[in-house]
Amino acid sequence: MIEVSQDCKHPDNLSKSDFVGKQIVEPSGSLIWLIAKKEIIANIRNFKTPVTLLTMTLLLLLSAHALALDYQNRLNNWSVNRDSQRDPIVGGRVSYDLSNGSFSHGVGFSHPPPIQPPQPFSAVVKGMDGEMDRRVVVSDQIVFWTRQDQPAMSALFDTPDTSFIVKLLVSLFALMFSFDASPREKESGTLRAMLAQPIRRTELILSLSLGASISLLASFAVAYFIEIIYLRLAHGLLSGWKDLVRAMLIFGLASLYGIVFVHIGLFISTITARIRIAITTTLLTWVTIVLILPSASVLMAKLLTPTASYNQLNARLWEARRRILQGEFETNGSARTARPSRLLMPRIYEIERQETDNYLSGKKDQNRRARLFTVLSPAGALTFGSSDLAGTGVGTYNSYLELFRSNQDVMIDALKRSLYLSHQEGDNLIKEAREKVISRQRSAEPLGASFRSSIIPISSLFAWAIFFGLAAFWRFERYDVR
Amino acid sequence: MFRTILRREFQETGDSFTLLSALVALTIIVPLSAYIQARYYQDVVKDYALRQSINKTENNDQSIVLIRPIPPLAPFFNGAYDSLPDELRLRNDSATASAPSGDLRPLDWLFPKIDLSFIIGVLMTLLTILLAHDTIAGDREQGTLKLILAGPILKRTVLAAKVTGVVLPTTVILIYTVFLYTIVVTVSSEGAVGLSGVNLSALTVFTLVSIIMLIMTAALGVAISASAKRSSASLFACASIWIFITLIWPTFGAYITSSSKPVPPPEAFQRDMASKEKELIREELAEHRKTTANLKEQQVGVEAAWQRYLEVRRKWIERRNEEIERLVRERNKQIHDQQTFARRILLFSPYVAFNEVLGSLCGTGLENYDEFLAAVERYRQQEFIPNGLELRSRQKPWLNAADPDERLQLPPLQTPAPTLSKRLAAAAWPLSILIAEMIILMMLGVRNFERYDVR
């Protein structure tokens, strides 16, 4: 808006300063907001925002319902297991003592191996929590039973938790809000009109970014908080303030993820001149970033960090035991089938401890590396970041493994000490250690630790948002508006 | 005229940015995925051999472990193979089989592995959608549709040319993808993946089913394109339906159907079973006590007592089988009902139907696991228990001189690899759904195009 001075002066009396236009320029901040507002209204009018709101609300509620029931089921499962630990042990031995010989029959039924309680926040982000439902027997070795899931169709597909919906839909809607920003304005002719205003191109794209982000995040915020309220009211979950902080942090992470895709969409819009090409590029980009990159990163990490399988661990333990017994056989000439002597047992226990430590460390390293590789992509950063914040991520899983490692130490120490005690005393000591091990349950990861774990994924998302934002600004500076 | 339209369609598809970028993406993803799958399969085969050697040493008349055979086409479609227990333990004092241990694979649950079924079912169907969505609406926008229809040609012929123009290039890419994947898997697995005879035929049927899947997707794209006025609207509708049937419905459907037909949690079932087992153990011990008292009273020799003991033991094993099996049968029925319900609901998604067909063809479906369970149960009743008892009857525990080398000699678990016709028969139901969906969508496309306003 330029308003030229209208003072009446004779042309000969005009000085140089009289030719300087008195500019009444709209502050660029209000112009940015004005264009952003136009975008937000346009998104409401062309049904993008209502469709986003409706779809997200519906799917997040469905997810909350399905996952809350799943959590309830797993909790029931755990509480039945816990009660079973108090059930009586049944068994006995009957001796058939006859005049010319005897034999006996023994049978017994003990408690089931314990399982760990599920985390309430797994109703929002299940993460690795399902993997921790296993029965685990800890003695001188650790025996991880198989997962407790039923062989069902769900084994074939993803888990429909909030993280899954955000990963798929927030990214898709973010792209939908932004992919055609430049070509649409260009095709309708409004781009030239807007650039005729005293607004810089960077400010214009900033306002388009603001408009798309607000349209997306407002819809997502409403849907997400309806989900949290539903979980709280209908299922009694997420009632503590710490849970609410976790929920807020997950919302923040998901919003950041949405902004990354808004910027990716804007970038696509600045490199494509026609909407048709923009749509195709957007869909291909979405599939690559959301569906392919995270899985490919995990596979690469697995290739680069090969770990022993559980069967390989068993084979190593068996081989080590065989070697020790063979050594004893060769030295003492004792029977091949004899049980290891008291002197050999500590050696066998130490090897079991060492091999199990190696196996668990390998698994933890693989998880860490997979996490490091995967958080480099936005969808991977979201998956790991949200599970970290929910307390169902790699950090929690690694401490779950650490719990069994230390339980094994307790058991091995008791077994070693029992070798030098009387039968009765030894049995009591082992029983005591077993009870101690069974009573140790994993606790929820502290909020601070969860937040610290999620710093790398958050930083990765920030970096992507800035990178694509700058790329979009840079490309838009060179965008041909004709 | 048909040829002219077809040639034009080919030309448009061949020049399209979509096809080129998809081809580049597939050329990167396919070998990478095939290589990783082959390496993983090699590990599985090594693990299998390792487990066999461990089990051979550790199996005895008290307990044995049976391993699930490795499906030879698992690198092409992982299916449910990784998600379910790969070995089961049988014990002579228990009437059920339990999964003794499982490897820790949390990452597989967070990020499913990319296999050939993912590449075709997700990536190639998306490519087909991108090519098909503007076949009619795009021509209308450009104004060429009026010109085409001004000629002496039936609308159906135009539609047939349009569908063929999408299906043929995608089929060529599909064959290229399958060929590339197969070569890389075979070479990288260093002989672990054996492709001969029935497996090669199964892979051919795999490709044919994939072509049906692509035709179905093309028919969906054309049917929507023939009812939309703008290609962007058509793409929006196509992409939404694709996302729903490929990503949302399979994921949600499985959970929702499970929660609407719940089965008691596994620990509750185990507890019920344990309580029954304990009751039977108490009764059995009581009978043994009674028997030993009677035998003492009758002053019977130890050999005769041993025979009497074995009779009691056999009777209680049979009783336990009967009682526990009843519980297991009830439980299995509940799970089976839940699965059947979930399947019925989920099969409406062509992606699920496609996966089901591939599961039957590659031996990685849920039915294959059920077959394994049935084979294990047969083995328990026909081999493990009778042979275990027979071995016990030969033993003379009162002499304390049991021969350590006298081990339980059992034949290997028989799980014959199904023939191609059996695999096809198992895949008949999902395959017929896929074909029915394809026909319905084609008819819908014809109907929509007949009523299409070309102005």
Q: What are phi and psi of B158, to 5 degrees?
A: -60, -45
* pLDDT tens readout for residues B214-226: 999 999 999 999 9
Residue A194 tokens, joined: 């807007």
* A161: in domain: no
Assign B263 a pLDDT band (cuts: 50, 70, 90).
confident
Assign B302 a pLDDT band (cuts: 50, 70, 90).
confident
* B15: in domain: yes
**CA of B405: which chain A residue's CA is closest?**
A337
**Shortest CA gap B20–chain A (Å):** 12
Considering only residues A229 and B406, tell me which one the structure prediction assigns the higher pLDDT.
A229
CA angle A368, A369, A373 (to 5 degrees): 120
* B371: in domain: no
Are A479 and A182 a contacting pair, CB within 8 Å?
yes
Query: What residues of B are in contact with residue A287 (Cβ under 8 Å)?
Result: 122-123, 126
Q: What are phi and psi of B152, to 5 degrees?
A: -80, 75
The rounded distance, in Å, linking the Cα atoms of A318 and A321 is 5
Are A337 and B313 inside 8 Å of each other by CB?
no
Are A98 and B301 inside 8 Å of each other by CB?
yes
Of A168-182, A244-258, B26-40, B83-97, the range with the lowest mean pLDDT is: B83-97
| Closest residue to B309, CB basis, from A80, A105, A287 | A105
* A175: in domain: yes
* B388: in domain: no
pLDDT at residue B246, as a whole number: 92
Q: In a 3-state reduction of DSSP, which class is residue B88?
A: strand
**Shortest CA gap B398–chain A (Å):** 5
Asked if A283 reaches chain B (Cβ–Cβ under 8 Å), the answer is: yes
* pLDDT tens readout for residues B323-335: 888 888 898 888 8
Are A155 and B22 inside 8 Å of each other by CB?
no
Are B258 and A295 inside 8 Å of each other by CB?
no
pLDDT at residue B443, as a whole number: 93
Selected residues 92-151 of chain B with any CB under 8 Å from a CB in chain A: 93, 99-107, 109-114, 122-123, 126, 130, 134, 138
* A389: in domain: yes
Judged by phi (left if over 0) then psi (alpha if -120 to 50, else beta), residue A50 lies in alpha
Of residues A207, A157, A200, the one with CA closest to residue A37:
A207
pLDDT at residue B170, as a whole number: 93
Residue in B19, B65, B251 to test binding to A, most A beta-carbons within 10 Å? B251
The rounded distance, in Å, linking the Cα atoms of A30 and A279 is 31
| Closest residue to A154, CB basis, from B248, B255, B302 | B255
* B205: in domain: yes
Selected residues 162-201 of chain A with any CB under 8 Å from a CB in chain B: 164, 168, 172
Are B397 and A73 inside 8 Å of each other by CB?
no
**CA of A360: which chain B residue's CA is closest?**
B104
* B281: in domain: no
Are A98 and B300 inside 8 Å of each other by CB?
yes
Provide the CA B413 distance to its chain's centre, in angstroms.
Answer: 21
**Shortest CA gap B103–chain A (Å):** 5
The rounded distance, in Å, linking the Cα atoms of B247 and A156 is 12
**CA of B83: which chain A residue's CA is closest?**
A155
**What 3 state SS string does chain A have?**
CEECCCCCCCHHHCCHHHHCCEECCCCHHHHHHHHHHHHHHHHHHCCHHHHHHHHHHHHHHHHHHHHHHHHHHHHHHHHHHHHHCCCCCEEEEEEEEECCEEEEEEEEECCCCCCCCCCHHHHCCCCCHHHHHCCEEECCCEEECCCCCCCCHHHHCCCCCHHHHHHHHHHHHHHHHHCCHHHHHHHHCHHHHHHCCCCCHHHHHHHHHHHHHHHHHHHHHHHHHHHHHHHHHHHCCCCCHHHHHHHHHHHHHHHHHHHHHHHHHHHHHHHCCCHHHHHHHHHHHHHHHHHHHHHHHHHHHHHHCCCCCHHHHHHHHHHHHHHHHHHHHHHHCCCCCCCCCCCCHHHHHHHHHHHHHHHHHHHHHHHHHHHHHHCCCHHHHHHHHHHHHHCCCHHHHHHHHHHHHHHHHHHHHHHHHHCCCCHHHHHHHHHHHHHHHHHCCCCCCCHHHHHHHCHHHHHHHHHHHHHHHHHHHHHHHCCCCC
Provide the CA B214 distance to its chain's centre, in angstroms.
Answer: 20
The rounded distance, in Å, linking the Cα atoms of A9 and A409 is 98
Q: Where would I find the H helices in B94-230?
A: 106-110, 116-118, 125-132, 137-142, 144-150, 155-188, 198-225
Are B101 and A135 a contacting pair, CB within 8 Å?
no
Provide the CA A47 distance to its chain's centre, in angstroms.
Answer: 31
pLDDT at position B358 over 90 = yes
* B220: in domain: yes
**CA of B287: which chain A residue's CA is closest?**
A94
Provide the CA B12 distance to its chain's centre, in angstroms.
Answer: 38
The rounded distance, in Å, linking the Cα atoms of B120 and B288 is 62
**Shortest CA gap A66–chain B (Å):** 6
- Count of domains observed in chain A: 1
pLDDT at position B138 over 60 = yes
The rounded distance, in Å, linking the Cα atoms of B116 and A240 is 45
Are A299 and B299 inside 8 Å of each other by CB?
no
CB proximity list for A33: less than 8 A, separation 6 or greater: A207, A210
The rounded distance, in Å, linking the Cα atoms of A340 and A294 is 48
Q: How far is CA B217 from CA B170, B237, B440, B444, B447, in A?
A: 11, 13, 12, 13, 17
pLDDT at residue A5, as a whole number: 43
* B289: in domain: no
Percent of chain B with pLDDT over 90: 26
**Shortest CA gap A133–chain B (Å):** 11
Query: What residues of B are in contact with residue A92 (Cβ under 8 Å)?
Result: 285
Mean pLDDT to the nearest integer, B284-300: 90
* A443: in domain: yes
Q: How many CB atoms lie within 10 A of CB B135?
A: 29
CA angle B91, B97, B99 (to 5 degrees): 105
Q: Which domain holds residue B241?
A: 1-264+347-362+416-455
| H or E segment to which residue B63 belongs | strand B63-67
pLDDT at residue B106, as a whole number: 79
- Count of domains observed in chain B: 1
* Residues facing residue A137 across a β-bridge: A143
Mean pLDDT taken over chain B? 86
Are B232 and A275 inside 8 Å of each other by CB?
yes
Are A146 and B101 inside 8 Å of each other by CB?
yes
What is the ipTM score, two decimals?
0.86
Residue A405 tokens, joined: 């490692």
| Closest residue to B32, CB basis, from A63, A152, A296 | A296
Asked if B25 reaches chain A (Cβ–Cβ under 8 Å), the answer is: yes
**Shortest CA gap B397–chain A (Å):** 6
**Shortest CA gap B88–chain A (Å):** 10
* pLDDT tens readout for residues B419-451: 888 888 888 999 999 999 999 999 999 998 888
pLDDT at residue A3, as a whole number: 42
Of residues B277, B356, B373, the one with CA closest to residue B322:
B277
| H or E segment to which residue B65 belongs | strand B63-67
Judged by phi (left if over 0) then psi (alpha if -120 to 50, else beta), residue B299 lies in left
* B423: in domain: yes
| Closest residue to A94, CB basis, from B29, B251, B292 | B292
Residue A62 tokens, joined: 């469905």
Highest mean pLDDT among B78-82, B98-102, B255-259: B78-82
| Closest residue to A160, CB basis, from B53, B251, B404 | B251
The rounded distance, in Å, linking the Cα atoms of A222 and A44 is 15
Are A130 and B109 inside 8 Å of each other by CB?
yes
Instruction: Let me know if B49 is exposed, middle or buried by CB neighbors in 10 A (0-12, 13-18, 19+).
Output: exposed
Q: Which domain holds residue A453?
A: 28-82+113-147+166-477
Assign B191 a pLDDT band (cuts: 50, 70, 90).
confident
The rounded distance, in Å, linking the Cα atoms of A466 and A468 is 6
Assign B403 a pLDDT band (cuts: 50, 70, 90).
low
| H or E segment to which residue B10 belongs | helix B2-15
* β-bridge pairing A90-98 and A22-23: unpaired
Are A80 and B268 inside 8 Å of each other by CB?
yes
Q: How far is CA B127 from CA B20, B108, B123, B136, B170, in A?
A: 11, 26, 6, 17, 8
| Closest residue to A143, CB basis, from B101, B257, B369 | B101
pLDDT at residue A19, as a whole number: 44
Asked if B54 reaches chain A (Cβ–Cβ under 8 Å), the answer is: yes
**CA of A359: which chain B residue's CA is closest?**
B104
Asked if B247 reaches chain A (Cβ–Cβ under 8 Å), the answer is: yes
Are A101 and B355 inside 8 Å of each other by CB?
no
Query: What residues of A are in contact with residue B142 (Cβ under 8 Å)?
Result: none
Check residue B419 and report its DSSP letter.
P
pLDDT at residue A126, as a whole number: 92
Low-confidence ranges of chain A (pLDDT < 50): 1-8, 14, 16, 19-25, 335-337
pTM, rounded to two decimals? 0.87
pLDDT at residue A235, as a whole number: 92
